[in-house]
Amino acid sequence: MKFGFCPWLALTAALLPASLFASNAPQQKVFTLLKPADYHHYILKFDASELAATQKAAPDEWPWLKVNIPLFDCSNKQFENMYYFRWFAWDKHLVHTQQYGYLITEWLPKPQFPNYGALPDAAPFHLGEARWLRNPQIAEDYARYWISPGARPRLYSFALAASVRDVTLATGDTDLGASMLPGLISNYKAWVATQFDPSVGLFWSIDTRDAMEKSISGDGYRPTLNSYMVGDARAIADFARDTGDAAEANEYAARADILRDTIETKLWNPRDQFYEVLSPAADSGIRKQKKFKDNGTVLKLAGVRELIGYIPWEYYQPTPSHDVAWTQLFNPQGFAGKYGPTTAERRSPRFNFPSSDQCTWNGPSWPYATTQTLLALADLLNGAPQTYIGKQQYYRLFSNYVRSQHRILADGKRIDWIDENLNADTDEWIARAKLIAKHSRQVGRGNYYNHSGFADPLITGLIGLRPRAGNKLVLHPLLPPGEWSYFAVDGLPYHGHLLTIVYDASGKHYHRGRGLTVYVDGKKLANRPTLGPLEAELPN
């Protein structure tokens, strides 16, 4: 791996995998401002909550957490609490295997088959979180797993190459993408062979294979897989360019541009001003069909706005006039919800249609979809100026997400919790409640369902670190001025360095000066007196 020399990285890499960053391992100083011991109380609280919820003592996550995760501190203690809770829950899903190295699972207890239940649908979130750990081997092993013979990367729709690219943009590892390039190209070509319809110019998928069962729009040419494939083609082009293969780079850049233009023309509904599913009929019921076969049926757009219509912004820059779609996010008849956005617009006559299935994407709020929306909105707000939505709405979306992640126990105690899907108005965990009613016992997908992200959108969105190739450090905080009086992220690995990003409105909390400041390996790099964009060159 090509990193600038960094003592802590050399040390920790040498300890793998046997020590697993054991608490008694020797460590270099990695924190400039914050102290791990000041946040241990959160883990103790989570341990007590787990005992109350499951009647089983939790394994001690603190030794792993304090040597792996960046520390986070802010004036909003709900956000601070949730940051540590999500890492506490995330570590429970980390598995070290003899064959593949590190794997990341969705469910608890970890199933033994196949490969501890590693699934591709939420893998972009797993990789997004893992890229901010001080152990780079975790993200690298898990990325490589998906091109190994034992993996099934197309079991669900999955932007594999784009997710690997996200990892390399954070770590600065120029070798990972190059070494994975043949496998990433093979994966792309396999998608083309099985799901691409040349007569339409788009990829076909069923909603279940998008991990979005029982949707209103159903099966068709969906904004999901098609957007993922734009992202994958562009990532492959970047990796090929890094290796000096201009022909391959040009081919996949062209593929990305053509597919992007096809999405813009065929999946955009000018009447609804939204990206929608194109299919023979809305909710056609052809749910087991892997690929649409043209039988003369006239294709039409589904005529329903669903949250998946925001996914294009996560993988490319849509036509600027299409930004109008974001006016639906907090529209009372659109996706507005007290505890998160609904997955389908409320004005649809099929909103929340009756279903006995616990997995429904016809209206419930899904942390999975909320994560995608946070990432897509951050990309929009980091692009060209527009007047439809801004930082305040982004913060509202994130705040609702934080508010939703809890559970009320039988004795009335409120604990932190992350599960599958929820009622956006009452915050009841729907799948959990249905499974309990069906089986008359406490069952579900397992505690701490690992099907969404949190640290990654917080670091890249609210805090505003925008990972990129090259030596320039770019900060663009989406936190609205006045919401928090201070925040800090400390011990954050980036391009072979450790960053400390600090905001202190008065300068009296951290006593390091007013405004936004970034430190690299403990040395002050740049500052501005107010909260806003900040750019600087990383040291060699």
Over residues 24-31, mean pLDDT:
58
Tell me the pLDDT band of 24, cut-offs 50, 70 and 90. Answer: very low
Strands 71-74 and 486-494: antiparallel
Ramachandran sector of residue 533 (left: φ over 0; alpha: ψ -120 to 50; beta: rest): beta
Question: What percent of the chain is predicted at pLDDT more than 70?
Answer: 90
Residue 109: predicted pLDDT: 79
Residue 442: predicted pLDDT: 53
d(CA 3, CA 6): 8
Q: Which residue has the tokens 């799901």?
A: 195
Specify the range with the lowest mean pLDDT, choosing from 96-110, 286-300, 345-359. Answer: 286-300
Nearest to 304 by CA among 430, 207, 371, 388: 207
Residue 129: predicted pLDDT: 98
The residues near 265 (Cβ < 8 Å, ≥ 6 apart) are: none
Query: Mind listing the pLDDT tens digit for each residue in 160-219?
Result: 999 999 999 999 998 999 999 999 999 999 999 999 999 999 999 999 999 999 999 999
The pTM assigned to this predicted structure is 0.93
The residues near 120 (Cβ < 8 Å, ≥ 6 apart) are: 146, 151, 152, 153, 154, 155, 156, 157, 158, 160
d(CA 235, CA 250): 12
H or E segment at 97? strand 94-97
Q: Among 27-36, 163-172, 426-435, name the most confident range.
A: 163-172
Specify the range with the lowest mean pLDDT, choosing from 216-230, 271-285, 311-325. Answer: 271-285
Query: Mind listing the pLDDT tens digit for each residue in 282-291?
Result: 444 433 344 5
Strand partners of residue 203: 196
Tell me the pLDDT band of 446, cut-offs 50, 70 and 90. Answer: low
Task: Indicate if the pLDDT at residue 260 is higher than 80.
Answer: yes
Over residues 478-507, mean pLDDT:
98
Nearest to 476 by CA among 413, 520, 536: 536
Residue 6: predicted pLDDT: 41
Q: What are the chain's domains?
A: 7-475 (1.50.10.10)
Task: Indicate if the pLDDT at residue 21 is higher than 90.
Answer: no
- Transcribe 414-459 into DSSP letters: EEE---S-B-TTT--BHHHHHHHHHHTSS-SS-SS---S-SHHHII
SS3 151: coil
d(CA 218, CA 281): 9
- For 149, what's the count of Cα atoms within 13 Å in the CB-facing half-sphere? 1
Task: Indicate if the pLDDT at residue 359 is higher than 90.
Answer: no
Residue 358: predicted pLDDT: 79
The widest CA-to-CA distance across the chain, in whole angstroms, is 70
Q: How far is residue 36 from each of residues 18, 91, 493, 499, measured CA to CA in Å?
A: 23, 17, 16, 16
d(CA 293, CA 277): 16
Q: What is the mean pLDDT of the chain?
A: 91
Q: What are phi and psi of 70, to 5 degrees?
A: -65, 145
Over residues 326-348, mean pLDDT:
98
SS3 264: helix
- In the structure encoding, which two tokens stand for residue 508, read together? 């009296």
Task: Indicate if the pLDDT at residue 16 is higher than 60.
Answer: no
The answer to whether the CB of 329 falls within 8 A of the CB of 346 is no
Query: Mind listing the pLDDT tens digit for each residue in 486-496?
Result: 999 999 999 99
